[in-house]
Amino acid sequence: MHQTLEMRALNVEENMTSLIMIFGATGDLAKRKLFPSLYRLYNKGKFHKFAVIGVARKSMPNDAFQASVRDSVVSALGNKENIDEFISHFYYQPHDVSDSSSYGSLKTFADQIDEHHKLEGNRIFYLAMAPEFFGPIALHLKSDGLTDVSGYKRLVIEKPFGHDLESAKELNKQIRTAFSEKEVYRIDHYLGKEMVRNIEVIRFANAIFEPLWNNRYISNIQITSSETLGVEERGRYYESSGALRDMLQNHMMQMVALLAMEPPIRLTTDEIRSEKVRVFRALRSVEGDEVNEYFVRGQYGEGEMDENSVPKYRDEPMVDKESNTETYVAGKVMIDNFRWAGVPFYIRTGKRLKVKSTKIVIQFKDIPMNLYYQTEKMLNPNLLVIHIQPEEGITLHLNAKKAGGHLDAQEVRLSFANTGIHAMNTPEGYEKLLYDCMRGDATNFTHWDEVAYSWAFVDKISAEWQKTKADFPNYVSGSKGPDAADKLLEKDGFFWWPVTDLEVDICK
Ligand code: NAD
């Protein structure tokens, strides 16, 4: 029987009527991402009935809150169509989440809004707040009756989900007192990105790739997520996190799982998640001395970015002058199963690097014998490049006859860029994730098992790194990262494909 992507829709209970309660509604995430995403959904006619209660500590009249929602939509999208009608669905409730006594009035208010807008007792609680509040809020939502509703109740929770396996377990325990696993939507915003979602389709909707998608034909896979920004004003948070926890444990490992998983038997949330979990179970655990054979850490020094001098990490605000926190991590991840035995997945991510780019390179093995020498060098291996951001697209690197030459081969690139054709309609990641949550589709949110396996993997690396003080800083701002990251691949006979040389051609 043919499986179609649409079949996933059969597994969701599409009910676009909901009361959305945003905790942290005056914060950066709400303003930059959540309000504009809700507006786009509204303007596309996706909601049946909805209302939003913004919750934050400071007191503010309703119309001031509505004005701030309007401002954030206009500054993000420059669009004002139907904006007055849109903001009329927004309400504000001042509430200190650490004050146990004020949840009662929040419940009364939520019940009134539910009644007024006829929201059928459907409730989404979106925690856009500092992670230390996640557990206590979930406990209060239960104990103060906010989750006693006649419709569905869902909890959307931002990263970081814990600081390590132990704290993640504790947080999960608190959340699960109020919500079942099916009701928890752990955001990994990479899973909202168009090309990350496309990995599954590229793999499972093309007859030409899946037969080659294994250790017989793939030599290695490289995942790069490089940022040009430094730590900015997030020094306090970043000091307790670092690149390993902030990027690798979640976003990078999720991309590994999507690239490595077996085809699911159906495109349902449970089937896809269980295939991803099987990848996590097959991860080769590295600990003790092995950690530094498989992983490299770095921290940026001062340097030049766009002809401006930028400080070293240790001179950033709220950062320890002797900080041992890594702003860069590169590693070799091995998946010890039948399909991937022997194929390294190289991953790297860092701040203050030369280019902003997230890309996946699938490098295929060399052909058994090369008949076509190029003028000076050997044939290039075939590459499939998935451009995640800022460009979105796919490039397939092939070898073909050089025009006019005898039988010389040269590299040709077949490119598809999302930007040209679909840009106008490509929804932003948060918009897709909010839409999925309202539809009850948790596929692109992380299941607890994925989180737990991933923390167990990462904890062993951080345990080893905490033992020793690194020789930081070890890369210059604006560079490609520490030299040790190149050596990691060189010892296996590979090299990082430079992300700037892999740009996708924009379809005009
Ligand atoms: P922020 O500091 O800008 O906003 C925090 C919000 O929480 C504010 O509305 C503040 O008023 C409210 N708040 C703080 N203490 C409170 C209390 N005791 N009672 C009630 N409200 C209180 O934070 P942010 O950048 O919006 O991030 C929120 C969450 O989203 C964090 O977990 C963060 O890691 C995650 N996140 C943010 C981004 C982003 O782009 N900002 C991206 C990914 C993940």
24 lines ligand 1 (CB under 6 A): yes
pLDDT value of residue 373: 67
Which structure tokens are listed for 507?
A: 């379809």
pLDDT in tens, 400-445: 988 887 778 889 999 998 865 444 445 678 999 999 999 999 999 9
Distance CA 247, CA 249 (A): 6
Amino acid (1-letter code) at residue 490: E
381 lines ligand 1 (CB under 6 A): no
Residues of the chain where predicted confidence (pLDDT) is lower than 50: 1-7, 9-10, 421-425, 506-508
pLDDT value of residue 10: 45
pLDDT in tens, 374-386: 656 678 899 999 9
27 lines ligand 1 (CB under 6 A): yes
What totals of helices (H) and strands (E) does the chain contain, helices first?
A: 17, 17
Contact of 329 with 350, CB cutoff 8 Å: yes
233 lines ligand 1 (CB under 6 A): no
Ligand 1 atom nearest to CA at 127: 29
Pocket test of ligand 1: the residue of 129, 133, 229 to mutate, having most ligand atoms within 8 Å of its CB, is: 129
For ligand 1, atom 12: residue with the closest CA: 24
DSSP structure class, residue 152: -
251 is a catalytic site residue = yes
If one counts every other C-beta atom within 10 angstroms of the C-beta of residue 157, the result is 25
For ligand 1, atom 40: residue with the closest CA: 29
pLDDT value of residue 319: 98
pLDDT value of residue 508: 38
Amino acid (1-letter code) at residue 351: K
**Which one of the listed residues 89, 95, 163, 251 is annotated catalytic?**
251
**pTM value?**
0.93
Distance CA 448, CA 433 (A): 17
Ligand 1: centre distance to CA 29 (Å): 7
Contact of 481 with 475, CB cutoff 8 Å: yes
- Burial group, residue 416, by CB count within 10 angstroms (0-12, 13-18, 19+): middle
pLDDT value of residue 231: 95
pLDDT value of residue 375: 57
226 strand-pairing partners: 350, 357
Which ranges in 327-447 belong to alpha helices (H)? Answer: 418-422, 429-439
